[in-house]
Structure 1
């Protein structure tokens, strides 16, 4: 395992009845599998992915507990800006885009090249709370570890 690699990510959600089906549809397309949540957690659902070295990363959904009036998600407020997932190729980006369109998921930006790094090709969508998920192919990051 890479020292400092992320272990897990918990996302706070407003409505499990909307968010759990969304992530149930999207995360398995990336290789995540739904895993049971134990009685000692407040998570509404959890998905995990394991690499060839058996390193695991999980994403869980935690229902919001705010007592104040909920504000709409703003990626430019302090907190999470967006989540970006690596994919294997430009064709993989296009295939995921087609799959999400078929699932009637709202697309924020269709597949396009960006100037962030050479060959950066990506698209993005929003989850039910407005959190942006990006699916990106970066040729220079395939098959090598940096750090």
Structure 2
């Protein structure tokens, strides 16, 4: 099991407005904040968004080696669609709109979102 995940971001303010919002929308709680980062926790697992002095100032490229996307479970298809609508107001765009919600295949109900920094998230409806 993962202990934590640390994501370095170019613009902490923008990433907390998009990814941070999404994490709290998905039930994570803002655990701590400091000048260069924020930590979001759920149970014993936490995700850090950080933009300290060691972070190179460049956009995230999900097609380069490294992180492609984060996938989160949501309870229902209705919840996935509600989060998509809200996410559009928080800096996300819907990826593969012509295939939505089956871009992952006919049996895989999911929404693929990308924020302005290029980070992709997948919301998978479990029911």
TM-score (norm 1): 0.71
- Number of positions where the alignment pairs a residue of Structure 1 with one of Structure 2: 123
- Whole-angstrom distance in 2 between the partners of 1:71 and 1:33: 28
Query: What's 1:84 paired with?
Result: 71
Residue ranges of structure 2 left out of the alignment (5+ in a row): none
Query: What's 2:42 paired with?
Result: 49
Q: SS state of the match for residue 95, structure 2?
A: strand
Residue ranges of structure 1 left out of the alignment (5+ in a row): 51-55, 140-147
Contact 2:92-2:116 within 8 A present in 1 as well: no
The higher-RCO structure (CA 8 Å, 6+ apart) is 2
- Whole-angstrom distance in 2 between the partners of 1:89 and 1:78: 32
Query: What's 1:30 paired with?
Result: 26
**CA offset digits 1:57-101 (Å, max 9, x no partner):** 11101215256xx44322221110110001111112111112212
- Say whether residues 1:96 and 2:83 are aligned partners: yes
Q: For the structure 1 residues 22 and 94, does the alpha-carbon distance in structure 2 shift closer, same or farther, using more than 3 Å as the test? A: same
Contact 1:119-1:138 within 8 A present in 2 as well: no
- Which has the larger displacement, 100-109 or 16-25? 100-109
- Which has the larger displacement, 71-80 or 100-109? 100-109
Query: What's 1:131 paired with?
Result: 119
TM-score (norm 2): 0.81
The two structures, once aligned, show a CA RMSD in angstroms of 2.3
